[in-house]
């Protein structure tokens, strides 16, 4: 094809090659970072002042970490990764260290990252030994020719890349373990449980005991006939973490990391690591990171839906985010999201009682919010 013809074709299809940061106008006043640490039944009544203070401190630390990178000219990609790592290292959130337990007493982590300037993306799912899954997701994006890796393969890849691996017991926290026990007690004898016929064929991995040690398998369950138990998560509290950012060069990025949902069944993957569901970024529209009942966020392709409304319908970010979340609610799901667009507008809607969230702009002042 003649070069001129190719150029005309690309212009006609609306294709715009990704611009590298150096070629975009630099504007330090537009740097923006927004984060969430999960949505759910988070009310003043069920939180002590000490707990609230602890959450505020880590959220503030996460914001300041990302801000410092953006402020000195770092990319939105570096900022969202570093910001999420702070929350992954805290036991307070359902990501990394504080990940919730699966039905089988394990911690299986998911994460995704996306670069809005290139539409490159990386994610990992069902990993049990990677200390910071968000960095593994970034390695998948940058060091492999793939977008998503799961389980043992993702862990081997992380090891090859020199990322920090930990014993699965690193993810044990007493509070999360007790959440699982409560969920298991409440779901006993439920319709979902009756439909799950134990089978000798399936052998789930050993349970993690409070001591951090592992016990023998508790017996397997057939995937066929699986119906969700009424208590899928304890207290309807989602603790996934996420960050979205706009850098000085006008590039957007999004990152999300989670332990999934308490009492989730073997191999369950939520929305967080699925590009377009829990995580999405495109310089043409916005960057989005979600938290909530993953099954509904997957079905509504929430993150991409928000971006599509902004890109194709020119909806303002806040309206787009709210419209998509309303769709989730109509399906029966709940949760929230944080989003930032190319102009630095921030949206942080949720349809639960609260959402750990915050944002920071060029002046460096952290804004941390929890309740409605
Ligand atoms: N969205 C996550 C999932 O379904 C849960 C959360 O937001 O905490 O895996």
**Across residues 297-311, what is the average pLDDT?**
98
Does residue 210 form part of some domain?
no
Q: Is 240 part of the annotated catalytic residue set?
A: yes
Residue 239 alpha carbon, nearest atom of ligand 1: 8
Does residue 100 form part of some domain?
yes
The CATH number of residue 132's host domain is: 3.60.20.30
**Residue nearest atom 7 of ligand 1, based on CA coordinates:** 291
At residue 235, the pLDDT reads 53
Ligand 1: centre distance to CA 272 (Å): 7
Mutation probe of ligand 1 site: the residue of 39, 99, 261 with most atoms within 8 A of C-beta: 261
Count of domains for the chain: 1
Residue 292 alpha carbon, nearest atom of ligand 1: 7
At residue 3, the pLDDT reads 52
Ligand 1: centre distance to CA 239 (Å): 7
Ligand 1: centre distance to CA 258 (Å): 6
Mutation probe of ligand 1 site: the residue of 238, 255, 328 with most atoms within 8 A of C-beta: 238
Does residue 126 form part of some domain?
yes
Does residue 5 form part of some domain?
no
pLDDT in tens, 311-351: 999 999 999 999 999 999 999 999 999 999 999 999 999 99
Give the DSSP per-residue string, 288-333.
EEEEE-HHHHHHTTHHHHHHHHHHHH---HHHHHHHHHHHHHHHT-
**Residue nearest atom 9 of ligand 1, based on CA coordinates:** 260
pTM: 0.84
Cα 233 versus chain centre, distance: 17
Cα 287 versus chain centre, distance: 12
Q: Strand pairing partners for 34? A: 244, 359
Per-residue confidence at 115, pLDDT binned at 50, 70, 90? very high
Check whether 232 has a pLDDT greater than 90: no
Does residue 205 form part of some domain?
no
How far is 281 from 112, CA to CA, in rounded Å? 11
Does residue 203 form part of some domain?
no
Please state, for a pLDDT cut of 90, what percent of the chain lies above it.
76
Instruction: Identify the domain containing residue 130 by its residue range.
Output: 31-169+234-371
Q: Ligand 1: residues whose CB is within 6 Å?
A: 38, 94, 238-240, 258, 260-261, 270-272, 278, 291-292, 294
Does residue 259 form part of some domain?
yes
Helix (H/G/I), strand (E/B), else coil: 148: strand
DSSP 8-state assignment for residue 228: -
Ligand 1: centre distance to CA 307 (Å): 20
> Six-digit token pair at 48?
């002590």
At residue 46, the pLDDT reads 86
Q: Please, what is the average pLDDT of the chain?
A: 85
> Six-digit token pair at 327?
């769709």
> Which candidate in 65, 128, 240, 279 is catalytic?
240
Query: Whose structure tokens read 């349970």?
Result: 207
> Six-digit token pair at 161?
């890349």
Per-residue confidence at 295, pLDDT binned at 50, 70, 90? very high
At residue 193, the pLDDT reads 30
Residue 269 alpha carbon, nearest atom of ligand 1: 9
Mutation probe of ligand 1 site: the residue of 102, 240, 338 with most atoms within 8 A of C-beta: 240
Ligand 1: centre distance to CA 73 (Å): 32
Please state, for a pLDDT cut of 70, what percent of the chain lies above it.
80
Does residue 258 form part of some domain?
yes
At residue 15, the pLDDT reads 43
**Across residues 259-273, what is the average pLDDT?**
95
Per-residue confidence at 187, pLDDT binned at 50, 70, 90? confident
Ligand 1: centre distance to CA 168 (Å): 20
At residue 4, the pLDDT reads 52
């Amino acid at each position: 094809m003649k070069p001129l013809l190719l150029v005309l074709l690309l212009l006609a299809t609306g294709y715009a090659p990704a611009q590298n940061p150096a070629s975009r106008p630099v504007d330090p006043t537009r740097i923006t970072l927004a984060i969430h640490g999960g949505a759910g039944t988070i009310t003043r009544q069920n939180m002590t002042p000490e707990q609230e203070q602890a959450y505020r401190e880590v959220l503030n630390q996460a914001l300041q970490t990302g801000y410092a990178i953006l402020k000195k000219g770092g990319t939105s990609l570096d900022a969202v990764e570093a910001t999420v790592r702070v929350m992954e290292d805290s036991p307070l959130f359902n990501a990394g260290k504080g990940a919730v337990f699966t039905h089988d007493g394990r911690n299986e982590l998911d994460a995704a990252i996306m670069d809005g300037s290139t539409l490159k993306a990386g994610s990992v799912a069902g990993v049990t030994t990677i200390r910071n899954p968000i960095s593994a997701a970034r390695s998948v994006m940058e060091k492999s020719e793939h977008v998503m890796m799961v389980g043992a393969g993702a862990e081997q890849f992380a090891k090859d890349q020199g990322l920090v691996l930990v014993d699965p017991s690193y993810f044990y926290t007493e509070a999360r373990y007790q959440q699982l026990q409560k969920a298991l007690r409440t779901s006993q004898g439920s319709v979902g449980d009756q439909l799950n016929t134990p089978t000798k064929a399936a052998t789930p991995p050993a349970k993690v005991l409070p001591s951090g040690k592992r016990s023998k398998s508790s017996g397997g369950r057939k995937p066929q006939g699986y119906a969700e138990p009424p208590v899928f998560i304890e207290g309807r509290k989602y603790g996934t973490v996420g960050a979205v950012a706009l850098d000085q060069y006008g590039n957007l990025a999004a990152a999300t990391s989670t332990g999934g949902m308490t009492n989730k069944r073997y191999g369950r993957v939520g929305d967080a690591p699925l590009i377009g569901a829990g995580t999405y970024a495109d310089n043409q529209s916005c960057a989005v990171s979600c938290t909530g009942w993953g099954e509904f966020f997957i079905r509504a392709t929430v993150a991409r839906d928000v971006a599509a409304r902004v890109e194709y319908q020119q909806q303002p970010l806040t309206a787009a985010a709210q419209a998509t979340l309303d769709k989730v609610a109509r399906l029966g799901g709940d949760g929230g999201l944080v989003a930032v667009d190319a102009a630095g507008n921030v949206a942080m809607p949720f349809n639960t009682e609260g959402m750990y969230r915050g944002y920071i702009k060029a002046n460096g002042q952290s804004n941390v919010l929890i309740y409605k």
